[in-house]
Chain A
Amino acid sequence: GQQLNQSPQSMFIQEGEDVSMNCTSSSIFNTWLWYKQDPGEGPVLLIALYKAGELTSNGRLTAQFGITRKDSFLNISASIPSDVGIYFCAGLRHSGNTPLVFGKGTRLSVIA
């Protein structure tokens, strides 16, 4: 099946630093989504991207839909301790009933 390659797998950063993670695919997607999952909870939608080249912000988070429609990145500026968690990218194709495809996640740890 389709797979999304998400990197890095994990990262340790100092509080206040900026963070960047990305997701690539061999297939084209029509929608890219970024979720955050805290321990014991379900994934929470952070940003949704619908158009190639689109750059969208949500507070300190910024995400972009790659021009080729095969990649996306998420940036977090000025990280804080509550940014700790696992970040998942997910891609959706609008043709047929193809399911949402998730990456394996980036585990973010913030050192105060």
Chain B
Amino acid sequence: EAGVAQSPRYKIIEKRQSVAFWCNPISGHATLYWYQQILGQGPKLLIQFQNNGVVDDSQLPKDRFSAERLKGVDSTLKIQPAKLEDSAVYLCASSHSGNQPQHFGDGTRLSIL
């Protein structure tokens, strides 16, 4: 089966600019996650969707980050405006349900200048 697809792979922007990331989960996976991974650390959950509804966004900095999964399949994560500390790899993952192992995409490496 095809894995989790993410784009772009790399993005370089200046602080205060906006950026958006796209994710297409594994077919049939109802649960989709966005993670932030800072260099040298494990992934940190930003937001979890079950179909097109938000299950957990408690660690999402809502003043600048937003995410949607309008049709319950693809998802986009947006940062507006970006700060220097947002430099990280943004990983998307999906699973059949919230209690099943998650499968990750290769991530988008974001650099803020």
The A53-109 residues at the B interface (CB cut-off 8 A) are 88, 90, 92, 94, 97, 99-100, 102-105
**A42-B105, A42-B107, A92-B99 are contacts. A97–B43 as well, Cβ < 8 Å?**
no
Do residues A43 and B104 form an inter-chain contact, with CB atoms below 8 A? yes
- Asked whether A31 is an interface residue with its Cβ less than 8 Å from the other chain, the reply is yes
Q: Which label, helix, strand, loop or mixed, suits the secondary structure of the A interface?
A: loop
Which of B's residues lie within 8 Å of A, judged by CB? 4, 33, 40-45, 48, 55-56, 91, 93, 98-99, 101-107, 109
Cα A35 to Cα B41 with chains together (Å):
13
- Asked whether A45 is an interface residue with its Cβ less than 8 Å from the other chain, the reply is yes
Which of chain B's residues has its CB closest to A88's CB?
B42
Residue interface bits A13-38, CB-to-B below 8 A is 1, else 0: 00000000000000000110101000
Top 4 A-B pairs ranked by shortest CB distance? A102-B42, A42-B104, A99-B45, A48-B101
- Asked whether A111 is an interface residue with its Cβ less than 8 Å from the other chain, the reply is no
Give the chain A neighbours of B55 by CB distance below 8 A: 97
Which of A's residues lie within 8 Å of B, judged by CB? 30-31, 33, 35, 40-45, 48, 88, 90, 92, 94, 97, 99-100, 102-105
Give the chain B neighbours of A105 by CB distance below 8 A: 40-42
Cα A31 to Cα B99 with chains together (Å):
8
Report which of A31, A35, A97, A102 forms a contact with B48, defined as CB distance below 8 A.
Answer: A97
**A33-B101, A97-B55, A99-B56 are contacts. A42–B41 as well, Cβ < 8 Å?**
no
Rounded to whole Å, the gap between the CB of A16 and the closest CB of chain B is 28
Rounded to whole Å, the gap between the CB of A48 and the closest CB of chain B is 5
Give the chain B neighbours of A31 by CB distance below 8 A: 99, 101
30 contacts between A and B (CB under 8 A): A30-B99, A40-B106, A42-B91, A42-B93, A42-B104, A42-B107, A43-B104, A44-B104, A45-B101, A45-B102, A45-B103, A48-B101, A88-B42, A88-B43, A90-B42, A92-B99, A94-B99, A97-B55, A97-B98, A99-B45, A99-B56, A100-B102, A102-B43, A102-B44, A104-B40, A104-B41, A104-B42, A105-B40, A105-B41, A105-B42
